[in-house]
Structure formats: C-alpha cells, structure tokens
Amino acid sequence: MNKFGILSILALWSNILLIAQIPHEYIVKCNNLASLEFGFDISRSKHDWTIEKISSLDPIFLVRFADYFSAQQEDLILKSNKAISIYQKNFKLNERSCKPNDPEYSKQWNLVKMQIEDIWCFKNDGVSPLGDTIVIGVIDEGFDYTLTDLKRNIFINKFEIPDNGIDDDNNDYIDDYYGFNPLSFNPGDEHNLKNHGTNIAGLVGAIGNNKIGVSGTNQNIKMLICDAANDASLITCYSYFYKMKDEYLKSDGKKGAYVVASTISLGYDTDFVDDHPLICPLYDKLGNIGILNVCATVNRPDHDVSILGDIPSLCPSLHLIAVTNTDKNDQKVLDAGFSKEFIDIGASGENVTVMGLGGVIREESGCSLSAPQVGGTIALLNQFCPKFNALSKSNPRQASLLMRQFILECGDENASLNGITTSGRRMNALKSLKCLDAYCQDSKRDTFALTIKPNPVYDDLNLDIQLDAFGKYSIKVCNILGQWIFNQSFVNQPGQSSDLKINTNGWISGVYFVVLEFEDKKISQAILKL
C-alpha cells in the first residue's frame, strides 16, 4: 500500500477516535471459542473472566477480566494464549458534539451564543458534586406541566400524597405534589394552563436530547413551579420556596428541596418599592437561605426603571438579578428596560424559539425570555465545584452573593449595555463556569502542558494533557509533508483525566508532529515512529 492509501485509512480512523480504555476489557480474534477458552490458564477459576462473541463476520470475542487483575497481568495472559491471533483494548468512542438531538434545537441560537451548550459537555445531570438534586423555583401564572418535554423535570414532593386534601409532610402546604398553585379555588398542585409560563419553564428545563421539541438551559433539572398573579400569590410562592429550602437544610436533605435559584418573568411596569413594601424584603430572606433570584425587567421603549418604575427590578437586594433583553446581534433591544443602578445584565431573548401550550413551537420575544436563561444558568453552575456546594450549606447567604458575582462579572462585555446596566455585560454561561472553577481551585492556575510517551513510539502513543480550565482543546498530528493525519477536538473539565492514547499501528516510519491547541495557546512536539 502506498503512503496515500495509508493516509486515507488514518483519516478514516481519526473520525472514530478511541480515547479511553474500558477497564479490564479486550477484543480478541482467534480460531474459535473452544480454542480461546482452552488457551487460558485452566487452573484459574472461570469467574476470573468472561467471554462473549461480538461478531458474526469473524471469530472475534470480548474478554472481560475481573477487576482485581492488573493491566500487566491481563496483557501477559493474552500474550501467552496461543489461540489469539490479535487483540486490542476496548476503547470508548469520543462524542462528536454536545448538541442535543431535539429537532428544534438548531433554531435555539440564544443557547449557543451564551455558550450554554459548551457546559453540557462537562456535566449535565442536574446533581450537585455532593449528591444534591438541584432545584430551581419557577413562578408564572400557569404551566402546561404535563407536557412530555417538561414532566420529567418537574419537581415532585415525594413526601406528599396528591389530591387527598391533607398536608402530609407538615410543610404548611396542602397537596403540593407538583409544586403549588395558590390561585386555585382549592390550593394544591393543579396548575393553570398558560402559554407564557410554559415558555419560561421550557427555557429553564425542557428535557434535552429526547428527540422532542426544544432543549432548556438545563436538560436535566428539577423545577419547583408555583402560580402567581398578584402580590398575595407572589408572597405565597416565595414563602413556599423558602420553606422547601429550609426543610432541606434542616433535615440534611431528607425533606424539602435543594432550591438554589428562582426566576420570575412577571412584574409591575411602572411601580416603585413603596407600592410593594412586602415584596422586596423577600429577596434578602431568600438569599439568606441560599436562593439567588432572577427577574425580567419591563418591555417598554426608552424605559429607565430608576425614573419610570418597575417591580421587582427596583427591589434593593443583592440576592436579586434583574435582566434585560439582547438580540442575535448582541444589541440591547429597544423595547427593554434599563438602569445603570438596578438592571444588572443582558441575556438573549429576542426572536428565540420556545415551547408553548400543547408543545407548540414558535418564536417569541421579550425580557420574559431572557430572565429564565439566567436563572437556568445558575442552576446549571450548581452542578460543579464541591467547595461551592459545601459553602451553600454552611453559609448559604455567602454562596448566593458569590454566584451573583460569577454571573455578573464574568459575562461578555457589551457596548450596548455599558452605562445602562450595572455590569455592562451579556451573560456568558461558560465564562461564569470558568470563574466558578477559579474559585474552586483557590486561584487561577495557568497550567498548559503536554507530555508524550514513549518517544520513539512503536504502538500506542500516550499523551498526558494538563489543562486547568474549562473549554475545548484539540490534538493534531501531521507528517513531515505538513499533512494532517489526525485532528480531533475534546472538552476539558478540570479534575478529570485528560490522558489520551493514539494507536500508531499502520503509520509509516518517520517524524511526526503532535500539536495541542487550547484557546489562543499552542504546544508542538516532534515524535519518531519506528
């Protein structure tokens, strides 16, 4: 075979890169099963390994060793089995992308712009590092909460028996099985069906990667939903969130809910703090228990809320983030409130694809759609950093203030928001995650290193990659002619292994160059293939 044929094969294999071995598993080829079994040391117990045929085309088998074997022992056993003509490790395939398979996701430009998709590559299970199921409180006038694309992500109070008219868990709320609705004639968990609230819930937590509709900022999350249409019901909802979080902390997670954030896209367009003296104090109370709150500002042109009013945006609490609307071109939308003292940050909410009643997909616009993406990001970030997770229990008020800092100070600088918001930034979820990671690591480390062994290489090339930052990196290999024979991107999560094996069997002898690229940094090392 000429070098061009070899390069073609290498290019093919680079598209299905194998990056990590499944421990104790090997793929072997031999004449038949009987000869394979006979070739193993018959003095050992059959419990030491299992054999499974995995191909109908060739006599190829999967061998699984017991976990007490070392890699050296396994290699020795396989090499000594004369029935085996060839064997290899069973490697995991690297995922191509973190894009979900939801059919309408291609239209969700807002999630891409704010780099929420990039976070899904690292962790997306809705669970904190210490094992807490993360919950976000969502307030609106109603929700189509039984939709297939939402229902699994709705928080269920497992200590409550639905529809029996009894406060089974003694939390002061009757029949709060699927959240709570104080607007109902008989308060309980039967929610009003509203398009607006369904839009909001979908942006926070529409189930991702389920081949249905859209994806929320969190593909896996629990939403504690509550209906509100006036001050009385709003006070009830916030009190409910407080009670559930308090129960969780006092019971060490045995009751209540681990509520880390709340979001609301309702308000009073031209009102001031004195008009609602019982609403604003709630945000400090919620913050003291570790709930960081998000609200949408008003949708009115040339509306400076400091002058013209807006509640809850004007509530003077550091535990409240007020959000305005930006478009696809990163411009602040004209019909969106602002204030350099009270509106904190922008988020993409103009002409975004959302899910409404009955699962109908449409485009909607407004600050209402910007806010839940910020709230959803707060919930998403709570999946990382054990240090922050512990702080949220030992000092929940401090954790809330710290998360506020990560959201506001780590967004993208935005000229259209400068001078009319407190931060002058548009939310960037990935940058906020990097700020959280810097806190988690105690300092902003700048480790960028590549170690390659062995060199010269005969078979497997082992790469030790050190990156102490979240983000995407690439590994490339080129020959002396400058032709790329290997080019693959990966995601890096600090604290996880970044070891990589590349099988060089089939490479022609000679000099190659291995290149590590991360953001604007690059390392290149020469290797010799023998």
* Collapsed DSSP state (helix, strand, coil) of residue 407: helix
Cis peptide leading into residue 456 (ω within 30°): yes
Q: How confident is the model at residue 8 (pLDDT cuts 50, 70, 90)?
A: very low
What span, in angstroms and rounded, lies between the C-alpha atoms of 463 and 363?
46
Instruction: Pick the closest to residue 121 from 108, 130, 110, 112 (CA basis).
Output: 112
> What pLDDT sits at residue 348?
97
* Collapsed DSSP state (helix, strand, coil) of residue 266: coil
* Collapsed DSSP state (helix, strand, coil) of residue 184: coil
pTM over 0.95: no
| Contact criterion met (CB below 8 Å) for 266 and 197 | no
Choice between 499 and 264, residue whose per-residue pLDDT is larger: 264
Which tens digit of pLDDT belongs to each residue from 187-222? 899 999 999 999 999 999 999 999 999 999 999 999
> Of 44-48, 101-105, 118-122, 179-183, which gets the smallest average pLDDT?
44-48
Per-residue pLDDT at 13 exceeds 50: no
Q: How confident is the model at residue 40 (pLDDT cuts 50, 70, 90)?
A: confident
> What pLDDT sits at residue 92?
67
State what percent of residues in the chain have pLDDT above 90.
63
What span, in angstroms and rounded, lies between the C-alpha atoms of 245 and 396?
11
> What pLDDT sits at residue 95?
47
Per-residue pLDDT at 34 exceeds 90: no
Per-residue pLDDT at 248 exceeds 60: yes
Average pLDDT over residues 16-45: 69
| Contact criterion met (CB below 8 Å) for 527 and 455 | yes
> What pLDDT sits at residue 96?
42
Secondary structure of the chain: what % helix, strand, coil (to 5)? 30, 30, 45
Per-residue pLDDT at 17 exceeds 70: no
> What pLDDT sits at residue 209?
92
> What pLDDT sits at residue 390?
95
Average pLDDT over residues 514-528: 86
Q: How confident is the model at residue 497 (pLDDT cuts 50, 70, 90)?
A: low
Which tens digit of pLDDT belongs to each residue from 406-430? 999 999 999 999 999 999 999 999 9
Beta-carbon contacts of residue 115 (< 8 Å; ≥ 6 apart): 428, 429, 430, 431
Which tens digit of pLDDT belongs to each residue from 398-408? 999 999 999 99
Which tokens hold the place of 16?
């299905």
What span, in angstroms and rounded, lies between the C-alpha atoms of 348 and 75?
54
- Residue type present at position 7: L
| Contact criterion met (CB below 8 Å) for 502 and 452 | no
Which tens digit of pLDDT belongs to each residue from 336-385? 999 999 999 999 999 999 999 999 999 999 999 999 999 999 999 999 99
Choice between 39 and 434, residue whose per-residue pLDDT is larger: 434
State what percent of residues in the chain have pLDDT above 70.
92
Domain 1-17+445-530 and domain 129-440 have a common topology? no
Which tens digit of pLDDT belongs to each residue from 293-342? 999 999 999 999 999 999 999 999 999 999 999 999 999 999 999 999 99
> What pLDDT sits at residue 12?
28
Beta-sheet strands, E only, within 57-141: 60-65, 84-93, 134-140
The domain 129-440 having CATH identifier 1.20.1250.20: the answer here is no
Average pLDDT over residues 91-113: 83
Length of the chain: 530
Enclosing H/E stretch for 96: none
Q: How confident is the model at residue 279 (pLDDT cuts 50, 70, 90)?
A: very high
> What pLDDT sits at residue 482?
79
Mean of pLDDT over the chain: 89
Average pLDDT over residues 158-162: 94
Q: How confident is the model at residue 97 (pLDDT cuts 50, 70, 90)?
A: low
Tell me the CATH number of domain 1-17+445-530, given options 3.40.50.10440, 2.60.40.3080, 2.20.25.10, 3.40.50.970: 2.60.40.3080
C-alpha 49: how far from chain center? 37
> What pLDDT sits at residue 161?
94
Average pLDDT over residues 24-33: 86
Q: How confident is the model at residue 41 (pLDDT cuts 50, 70, 90)?
A: low
Q: Where are the domains of the chain?
A: 1-17+445-530, 129-440
> What pLDDT sits at residue 173?
96
> What pLDDT sits at residue 480?
80
Which tens digit of pLDDT belongs to each residue from 438-469? 888 765 455 778 888 898 988 888 888 887 77
